[in-house]
Every structure is written in structure tokens, then in C-alpha cells.
């Protein structure tokens, strides 16, 4: 072997060895970074599940206390109490709230008649033969849960065990995963049983019926390209409560943990979706390998072609080696900085979403309870009003931020159902936006139905009407008509100054605000969220200032009206 060949091999081998070491270190760091990303995603979702369950337990216990303060509780007063709390709007995962009482068999008929009040008689559905009987006496919402009135829960093992555990411990107890009457076909859920304690004894149980998919939708969304499954181990195998689209239990990268849920534990799994892993050609380790191979070839060529200038060739090889080492350090530093930035963002979003929302919910609930049960105290009412108003402003801001995060993460979903649009439009200005009835003009035909997510549509209308009230001038015109046979067009217009043509596109962008809005509170997110929520449900929105004032035109799919009742 000649001296020249030995020099070539030595130089090329040195570069390749350094490259292999650097590639190995960088690849290991990249794999660890991906594992850390999915672990953080699982931690965030698990924390959200625990906070959401804690929030529902607090709501149930507050409601249980409120029930003990109502004299002559019957179907009417029970439904009115829960309607005033707006549970279905504030807690979308809550599909029903049933009052279950243990009644001596001889007293069942009289007790059920008293609970019915002026409503339909409650018929006992009993196949247990036990005495006393644990029976559903009051339900909410009345439409979806009406078939469960009079049902003896001891005939069903899963709810029975949860009721027994709650009565024995005096604390909320969660049932196993199950499918109950208020849920859609095939929609899994569970029952959170909250004991109603009166004079130190459990007088009844409050059964809160939870939807698994909607419960998961309320917690912090997982990061992009990560799917989540929520399930519960059982002797018969895994009982699935909710699962994100595309979840694959056999995914190459996944992780599992457990989340306390009542007295039970739910299994939480996170799995990487296609695209989560950085492509091979986009990895720093791959680029470094190509660079190292190229550098080795260049060094070998330089050494071989400059045999007469050996010293210079050696200096060039050393220089290339130093450059490669510096490149390795820079890539490692950049990768570490990116991982830190990603972790900081995830932790901030999780902290803001749960640390703000939970105390606001508690404050709002107690404020409403104090206003309702101490309505004759004028001084207290005067103090509570600014608290309630500012809590609602903060809650709306947090809701905007959470909605924006959910939309960005692709975790927002639309539960489309037939909606009586005519009825909704006629009540929305006064009930949702606080506009005086005399300031509104309607041009809405009767029997006009659309397919939409009710919560999303109410939020869209509230935003547009509040904007019209805040920035425009009366009267506010609300109109609707069918166009093209399969779409309904809704128009909301005020008689204010309108929006300048050069600002129309800006108001639909995030944090976009017109030049005349400097003295008005707001985040500039409202119209962005309106547009995204409409598009999520198959609708759209555009601005129309051709008739004076500010006008917004919405289009939604038409509907044939309500379907048959679910049993």
C-alpha cells in the first residue's frame, strides 16, 4: 500500500468516523425529542381529564346542595332550576341529570305523584321486586330523558353499583363505561352519581349522565398529529369511551397512562399519526450524514490530487473536520432550543386553559346560586352584578382562547342536528345579546329549519348581534330565507357607520380590529371564530354593506325538520 493511498484512507476514514458518531448522537436526540413530545401530549390530555372530572363533580355537589334548598321539589321546579343553570350549554358532555330516590314500595305511588306535580304521571318500571325501591323520579332535560322516569336503576348492574358506592361513601362515584338511553346509538358514556345529603344523611342521588366523546372534546386538545383514546379496563376487555380520529393502538410511537375518574381509573392512550415523525430526508442526522460523506469524498480527493503539497492537504482536511464538528454543535443546539420552545408553548396553553376556566366556573356557579336564592337582598344583588358581569367577560375571553386552540389543533367538532331557526332567531336578540325587543326588526318565515351545531350557531348569532348593538345603531334587522333550495341565508344588519372597504378582510383575521375600535373592549377574535365555527358545520359568512350599516350574511344547509325521538 503506497504512502499516498494510506494518507487518503486515513483522512477519509477519520471524517467518516466523526460523522458516524455525530449522526448517532443527533439521531438519538431526535428520537428522544419525539418521545418527549408524545409524552407531553399525554400529560396534557390526562391533566385535562382530571380537571374536567373535578369540575363536573363540583357542579354535581353544588346542584345537590341547591336541591335541598328547594321546597316542594317537583318536575316543574326541577326542570326550571336546571334550565336556569344552563348545564347543557356550559357542560356539553353532560347529557342528563336524573334524581334517583330510595322509596319504600308502599309509598312509591304517592311519592311519584308528588314529584310529577302538574306534569304527566310517572309510571313505575320495576322488575327487581326489592323493597325499598331505588327509582328515577325527576329527569333533565325532560325531552331526552323522559323515558327514564319511573325506572328502577337496581335492574341495571352498572348504575346500581355506582349508586351503592355513592351512598356508602357519601362521595361522588363513577360507573363503568356504558350506553344509556339519553346517548346516541353506539355512543359510550358513564354515570357520575352524586349523593344528595340532607341533615347528615343521603336523601337521594343525582345521576349525571356523561357522553364519552363529548367529554374528551371538552378537555385540552392533543397536539397536531397525535390521536388519543379514552377507555376503561374490564373483565370483558377494553370498554372504549372516546377515541380521536385515526387512532391506531399498534402505532410505531405511542404511550399509555391512567387518569383518576371518580373512584375509578380510565386508561389514556396517545399514538402518533402519520406525519408525526420527521421525514428521513428532513432530519438533521440525515443531512449530517450526507454532509459527512460528501466531506469525506472531498477530503480524499484533495489528498489524492495534491500529493506534491501534502502539508496543505492535511491542513485542508483538518479545516473540514473542524467545520463538521461546528455544524454538529449548531444542529444539536438548534434542536434543543426547538424542543424547549415546544415544551414551553404546550405547558403555557395547558396552564392557561385549566387554571383560568376552573375558578371562573366555580365563581360563576356560586354567584348565580346567591342571586337566585337571595334575590330579595338588594345590597347583595348590587355587589354581585359587577362580579357576575366581569366573570362572564373573563369566561368569554377564555372560551375564545380555548376555541381558537381547539380549532388550531383540529380537535374541534360539530354535533350537527336539525334546529328550528325561526324560533332561535326570534329569541336570540333579547335572550342571547341583551337587545331591547323594540330595537329589532324581523323578516323570518315560520317553519324554517337548518342542520347545524346548536352551540356553535348560538355563539355565532350572539357575536353578530352584540357587535351590531355595540358598534352600530338601531334598528337591527334580522332576516332569513331559503336560497337555491338547499341553503338558508341569514342576514344581520344594523344602521351604524358600517365597515370601510379596506378593513373588511382585516376584521375576519385574528386580532383584526377596525380603526374606530380603539375605545371598545374586545380581543379581535370574534369574527375569526364565527367564520371557523360556520365552516366546521358546513356554513359560511360574508360581509355585505350595500344597504347601509354593517351587514353580515350567513349560509347554512337546510333541514327537513326534527327526526324521530331517540329512545
Q: Is 541 within 8 Å of 552 (Cβ atoms)?
A: yes
Residue 341: inside a domain:
no
**How would residue 95 be classed by pLDDT, with cut points 50, 70 and 90?**
confident
Q: Is the pLDDT of residue 478 over 70?
A: yes
pLDDT band at 491 (very low <50, low <70, confident <90, very high): very high
Supply the pLDDT for residue 396: 65
In a domain, 471, yes or no: yes
pLDDT tens string 106-144: 888 888 888 888 877 888 877 677 778 888 889 888 888
How large is the average pLDDT for residues 394-418?
74
Q: Is the pLDDT of residue 213 over 90?
A: no
User: Which has more pLDDT, 85 or 391?
Assistant: 85
pLDDT at residue 275 greater than cutoff 80: no
Q: What is the CATH number of the domain that holds 446?
A: 3.30.565.10
Q: Above pLDDT 70, what percent of the chain?
A: 81
Whether residue 140 is contained in a domain is answered as yes
What per-residue confidence (pLDDT) applies to 340?
A: 72
Q: Which residue has the higher pLDDT, 448 or 352?
A: 448
Residue 60 counted as domain residue: no
Measured torsion, CA atoms of residues 456, 527, 216, 51, in degrees rounded to the nearest 10: -120
Instruction: Report the mean per-residue pLDDT for the chain.
Output: 80
For the cut 60, the answer to whether the pLDDT of residue 567 exceeds it is no
pLDDT digits (tens, 9 = 90+) for 321-331: 888 888 888 88
Task: With respect to residue 63, please indicate whether it lies within any of the assigned structural domains.
Answer: no
Instruction: For 141-179, write each residue's pLDDT tens digit.
Output: 888 888 888 888 887 777 888 888 888 888 898 888 887
**Which of 452, 455, 462 lies closest to 487 in space, CA to CA?**
452
Please confirm whether the linkage preceding 132 is cis (ω < 30° from 0): yes
CATH of the domain at 195: 3.30.450.350
Whole-number Å distance between alpha carbons of 237 and 225? 27
Count how many domains the chain has: 2
**pLDDT tens-digit readout, 551-565:** 899 999 998 877 554
The whole-number pLDDT of residue 518 equals: 47
Least confident of 41-45, 105-109, 405-409: 405-409
The sign one gets for the Cα dihedral 430, 436, 438, 441 is negative
Q: Which residue has the higher pLDDT, 29 or 453?
A: 453
**∠ CA(545), CA(551), CA(554), 5° rounding?**
125
Distance CA(93)–CA(216), nearest Å, equals 8
Over residues 295-319, the pLDDT tens digits come to: 778 887 877 777 657 667 677 878 8
**239-243: strand order across its sheet:** 239-243, 226-232, 264-272, 254-261
378 belongs to a structural domain:
no
Domain membership flag for residue 490: yes
Assign 478 to helix, strand or coil. Answer: strand
Inside any domain, residue 256 = no
Confidence of residue 350 (pLDDT cuts 50, 70, 90): very low
Between the alpha carbon of residue 500 and those of residues 491, 503, 504, 514, the distances in Å are 19, 5, 7, 8
Ranges of beta strands (E only) in 233-285 are 239-243, 254-261, 264-272
Q: In terms of Cα–Cα distance, which of 454, 453, 451 is closest to 414?
A: 453
Domain termination residue (choose one: 188, 214, 240): 214
Q: Which of 185, 214, 243 is the last residue of a domain?
A: 214
Domain boundary among 214, 239, 263: 214
Between strands 94-103 and 133-138, the pairing is antiparallel
**Which has more pLDDT, 375 or 84?**
84
Q: What are phi and psi of 202, to 5 degrees?
A: -75, 110
**CB count in 10 Å sphere of residue 431:** 12
Domain with 537, as residue range(s), is 416-557
DSSP helix/strand/coil, 409: helix
Q: Is the pLDDT of residue 375 over 80?
A: no
Q: What pTM was estimated for this model as a whole?
A: 0.48
Mean pLDDT value across residues 268-292: 75
Bridge partners, residue 99, by sequence: 138, 206
Q: What would the mean pLDDT of 232-247 be, rounded to a whole number?
A: 76
Amino acid at each position: 500500500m503506497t504512502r499516498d493511498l494510506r494518507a487518503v484512507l486515513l483522512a477519509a476514514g477519520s471524517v467518516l468516523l466523526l460523522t458516524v458518531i455525530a449522526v448517532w448522537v443527533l439521531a438519538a436526540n431526535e428520537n428522544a425529542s419525539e418521545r418527549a413530545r408524545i409524552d407531553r401530549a399525554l400529560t396534557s390530555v390526562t391533566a385535562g381529564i382530571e380537571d374536567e372530572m373535578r369540575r363536573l363533580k363540583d357542579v354535581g355537589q353544588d346542584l345537590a346542595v341547591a336541591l335541598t334548598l328547594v321546597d316542594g321539589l317537583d318536575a316543574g321546579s326541577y326542570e326550571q332550576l336546571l334550565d336556569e343553570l344552563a348545564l347543557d350549554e356550559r357542560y356539553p358532555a353532560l347529557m342528563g341529570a336524573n334524581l334517583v330516590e330510595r322509596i319504600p314500595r308502599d309509598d312509591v305511588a304517592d311519592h311519584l305523584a308528588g314529584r310529577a306535580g302538574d306534569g304527566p304521571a310517572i309510571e313505575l318500571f320495576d322488575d327487581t321486586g326489592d323493597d325499598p325501591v331505588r327509582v328515577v323520579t325527576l329527569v333533565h332535560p325532560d325531552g331526552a330523558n323522559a323515558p327514564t322516569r319511573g325506572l328502577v336503576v337496581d335492574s341495571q348492574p352498572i348504575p346500581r353499583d355506582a349508586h351503592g358506592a355513592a351512598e356508602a361513601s357519601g362521595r361522588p362515584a363513577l360507573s363503568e363505561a356504558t350506553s344509556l338511553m339519553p346517548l346516541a346509538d353506539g355512543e359510550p358514556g358513564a354515570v357520575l352519581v352524586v349523593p344528595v345529603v340532607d341533615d347528615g344523611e343521603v336523601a337521594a342521588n343525582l345521576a349525571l349522565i356523561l357522553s364519552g366523546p363529548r367529554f374528551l372534546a371538552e378537555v385540552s386538545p392533543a397536539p397536531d398529529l397525535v390521536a388519543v383514546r379514552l377507555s376503561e379496563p374490564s373483565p370483558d376487555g377494553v370498554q372504549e369511551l372516546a377515541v380521536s380520529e385515526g387512532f391506531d393502538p399498534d402505532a410505531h410511537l405511542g404511550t399509555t397512562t391512567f387518569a383518576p375518574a371518580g373512584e375509578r381509573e380510565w386508561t389514556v392512550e396517545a399514538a402518533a399519526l402519520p406525519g408525526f415523525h420527521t421525514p428521513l430526508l428532513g432530519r438533521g442526522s440525515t443531512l449530517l450524514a450526507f454532509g459527512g460523506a460528501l466531506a469525506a469524498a472531498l477530503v480524499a480527493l484533495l489528498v489524492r490530487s495534491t500529493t506534491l503539497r501534502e502539508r496543505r492537504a492535511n491542513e485542508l482536511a483538518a479545516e473540514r473536520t473542524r467545520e463538521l464538528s461546528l455544524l454538529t454543535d449548531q444542529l444539536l443546539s438548534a434542536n434543543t432550543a426547538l424542543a424547549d420552545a415546544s415544551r414551553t408553548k404546550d405547558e403555557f396553553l395547558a396552564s392557561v386553559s385549566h387554571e383560568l376556566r376552573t375558578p371562573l366556573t366555580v365563581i360563576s356557579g356560586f354567584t348565580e346560586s346567591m342571586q337566585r336564592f337571595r334575590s330579595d337582598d338588594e345590597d347583595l344583588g348590587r355587589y354581585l352584578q359587577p362580579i357576575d358581569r366581569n366573570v362572564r367577560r373573563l369566561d368569554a375571553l377564555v372560551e375564545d382562547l380555548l376555541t381558537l386552540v381547539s380549532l388550531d389543533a383540529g380537535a374541534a367538532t360539530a354535533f350537527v342536528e336539525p334546529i328550528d331557526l325561526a324560533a332561535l332567531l326570534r329569541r336570540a336578540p333579547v335572550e342571547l345579546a341583551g337587545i331591547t325587543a323594540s330595537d329589532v326588526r324581523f323578516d323570518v318565515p315560520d317553519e324554517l329549519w337548518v342542520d347545524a351545531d346548536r352551540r356553535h350557531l348560538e355563539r355565532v348569532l350572539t357575536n353578530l348581534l352584540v357587535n351590531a348593538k355595540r358598534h352600530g345603531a338601531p334598528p337591527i334587522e334580522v332576516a332569513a330565507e331559503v336560497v337555491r333550495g338547499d341553503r338558508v341565508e341569514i342576514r344581520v344588519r344594523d344602521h351604524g357607520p358600517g365597515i370601510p372597504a379596506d378593513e373588511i378582510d382585516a376584521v375576519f383575521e385574528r386580532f383584526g380590529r377596525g380603526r374606530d375600535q380603539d375605545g371598545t373592549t374586545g380581543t379581535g377574535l370574534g369574527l375569526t371564530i364565527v367564520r371557523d365555527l360556520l365552516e366546521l358545520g358546513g356554513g359560511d359568512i360574508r360581509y355585505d354593506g350595500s344597504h347601509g350599516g354593517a351587514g353580515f350574511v350567513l349560509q347554512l344547509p337546510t333541514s327537513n325538520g326534527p327526526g324521530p325521538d331517540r329512545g
